[in-house]
Amino acid sequence: MFAESKVSEFKREYTDGIVKTVVAFANTDGGKICVGVEDDGTVRGVLDTDEVMLRVTNAIRDSVRPDVTLFVQVVVQQIDGKPVLVITVQRGTARPYYLARKGIRPEGVFVRQGSSTVPASDAAILSMIKETSGDGYENARSLEQQLTFNKTAAFFAKKGIAFEDTQKRTLHLIDEDGTYTNLALLLAEQCAHTVKLAVFEGDKKAVFKERREFSGSVLHQLEEVYAFIDRFNRTRAEFKGLDRIDMRDYPPEAIRETLLNAIVHRDYAFSASTLISVFDDRMEFVTVGGLVKGITFDDIMLGVSILRNQFLANVFYRLKLIEAYGMGLPKIMGAYADYAVKPKIEVTDNAFKVTLPNTNSKPVVTIADPPATISEREKQVLSLFDKQYYIVRKDVEAVAGISQATAVVLLREMVRKGLLIRVGAGRLVKYRLAE
């Protein structure tokens, strides 16, 4: 009789440990398990082959994930005139296979080393996942299979969209083998990726005013982070006659689109958190993951979109959180179309940074020692900004003691020289200091 090896295993009788060996063979190079044979190769035979065959097939079907039965054959063979149950296992195509009760972790995933069945290392498990799932993070099988979706289900329900197993399969949360993907992990309470948010005093990272870390489903993070940021998006009011003009520090659409981009387009293969910093004069969003290969910075500014997380983007599209792929950055820039300050976008090999300027942040200008090119009347106009953020033509007429026509010419010249920024048109035109 042949001896045990990397591709063969002997069992005197049926034991629950047989499924471990099945998993190991399916994860390595395949092999045969002979039930009714001693470790030294002596054939004892199986008394009730039908009963043992039923126990083996039921155990493999119920205990191993993904379904490995397609790669397993169980037959009875006569060896030395005695009935032996031979379980032939082929190398599977959906590795890693694992014990359902243990999950995709070393205590549930086994491989063959020589003639022994041993737990697989974390590195080996990740290697198998990458080999069978490709390079895409979101469609790879999740290492965590005990997932809950309470927040995501509530989010879908609020949008009037069903979130049952059928939808989970359609959205690629569950793969063809019935296991959860990394996309499912991103939408589950067990998601390990976080957003860290810090609020600083002034315009430097010196003094913390508040800091938070948001975890759980990325949809839940989206809601919580936006609500938290909105607390610091102050509304400033200005009265012109009987009219009140409300101006928020940041265009809400710009914050929304920047946050959506940070969540949808980040590279979740890295564990680093998304970082959001709030200063008096700006907000900074730093996301792990540079540009997708094959696309340039100019491309994305034109609205060209190559999705890193195609299925996650599709979930957000189904929920009507995004209207069309590739429109995020153009929308952010468009939200600032009527402002002198503009968003700043920076890209490195492994990170993406968007800076949103505070539209109501008053630039620091020293009037005590102005440039020699500023006239006395221009100094008088600039002195108005010591007490107010915007000025209108009548303010200039009053402070300089000049006519309407002269005030118009003076303001036009100060805009040309870059001292003032004109905001609005017609009767609602007003002026602010240039940066």
Q: Which residue has the higher pLDDT, 94 or 191?
A: 191
Most confident of 151-160, 203-212, 389-398: 151-160
Q: Are residues 337 and 412 in the same domain?
A: no
Assess if residue 23 is contained within a domain.
yes
333 and 396 belong to one structural domain: no
My answer on whether 348 and 417 are in the same domain is no
Q: Are residues 353 and 384 in the same domain?
A: no
Torsion of CA 256, 262, 264, 266, to 10 degrees: 180
pLDDT of residue 361: 77
pLDDT, position 303: 64
110 in any annotated domain: yes
Return the pLDDT at 122.
87
Residue 398 and residue 323 share a domain: no
Among 81, 105, 132, the domain-final residue is 132
Largest interatomic CA distance in the chain: 120
351 and 380 both lie in a single domain = no
Res 247: pLDDT: 77
Kindly state the average pLDDT of the residues 335-341: 87
**pLDDT value for 78:** 93
**125 and 246 share one domain:** no
401 and 336 fall within a common domain? no
Q: Terminal CA-to-CA distance of the chain, rounded, Å?
A: 88
In a shared domain, residues 268 and 312: yes
Q: What is the pLDDT of residue 435?
A: 63
What would the DSSP string read from start to end of 93-147?
SSPPPEETTT-SSTTT-EEEETTEEEEPPHHHHHHHHHHHH-S-STTSBPS----
Q: Residue 108 pLDDT more than 50?
A: yes
For 400, the enclosing helix (H) or strand (E) is helix 393-400
> What is the average pLDDT across 222-232?
94
What's the rounded mean pLDDT across residues 95-99?
A: 90
- pLDDT single digits (tens) 248-269: 899 999 999 999 999 998 989 8
Average pLDDT of the chain, as a whole number: 87
Asked whether residue 352 is assigned to any structural domain, the reply reads yes
**CA pair distance 182, 174, nearest whole angstrom:** 9
Q: What is the DSSP string of 27-88?
A: HTT-EEEEETB-TTS-B---S-HHHHHHHHHHHHHHHEES--GGGEEEEEEEETTEEEEEEE
Range of the domain at 422: 376-433
- What CATH number should be reported for the domain holding residue 59? 3.30.950.30
Last residue of a domain, one of 329, 357, 385: 357
173 within a domain of the structure (yes/no): no
Q: What is the mean pLDDT of residues 289-306?
A: 69
Region 362-380 average pLDDT: 65
- Look at residue 72 and tell me if it is in a domain: yes
More confident residue, 327 or 218: 218
Nearest to 38 by CA among 86, 71, 3: 3
What pLDDT score was predicted for residue 135? 58
Q: What is the pLDDT of residues 69-90, one digit of tens each?
A: 989 999 999 999 999 999 999 9
CATH code for position 326: 3.30.565.60
Q: What 3-state class would DSSP assign to 424?
A: coil
Instruction: Please tell me the total count of domains within the chain.
Output: 3
* Domain end point (choices 325, 357, 389): 357
Q: Has residue 140 been placed in a domain?
A: no
Residue 385's pLDDT band, with cuts at 50, 70 and 90, is confident
Selected residue with higher pLDDT from 88 and 366: 88
pLDDT-derived band at 295, boundaries 50, 70, 90: low
For residue 333, is it within any domain? yes
Q: Tell me if 77 is assigned to some domain.
A: yes
The model's pLDDT over 180-225, given as tens digits with 9 standing for 90+, comes to 999 999 999 999 999 999 999 988 888 889 999 999 999 999 999 9
Same domain, 344 and 250: yes
Please give the share of the chain, as a percent, with pLDDT higher than 70. Answer: 90
pLDDT at 367: 46
Q: Does one domain contain both 238 and 330?
A: yes
- Per-residue pLDDT, 365: 47
What's the average model confidence in pLDDT over 46-73? 92
Q: Is 266 helix (H, G, I), strand (E, B) or coil?
A: coil
Claim to verify: residue 207 and residue 337 sit in the same structural domain:
yes
